[in-house]
Amino acid sequence: MHCEFMKILVMTFRLHAPWVCSLKEKRMVVKSLVAKLQNRFHVSAAETDEQDIHRIIVIGVAAIVPHNAMADSMMDEISRFVEDNTEAEILDEQRDIR
């Protein structure tokens, strides 16, 4: 019997938003991007680091996928989506499949 285990896709985006002048303004940017990611891809997404620095945004994304090929494809789509749906500059993007 062939048994394939599910995979966990994990991504972290580090963004720079130079126009943001307050934590309140940053929360609005984060909330918007997180909601768009959740609605479009049905993933878990949240701000995961640097909550007290108003111009740096770190967002983590996770999803369960059936195999590595789907994880790779989905990560490419998510990366393009983040780039297209925020004015913030992507400083770093990390990808992992577990």
pTM over 0.85: yes
The answer to whether 6 and 68 are in contact (CB under 8 A) is no
pLDDT band at 12 (very low <50, low <70, confident <90, very high): very high
* Ramachandran sector of residue 33 (left: φ over 0; alpha: ψ -120 to 50; beta: rest): alpha
List, edge to edge, every strand of the sheet that includes 7-16: 44-49, 56-65, 7-16, 89-97
pLDDT average, residue stretch 35-61: 94
Mind listing the domains of the chain with CATH numbers?
Answer: 7-97 (3.30.70.1120)
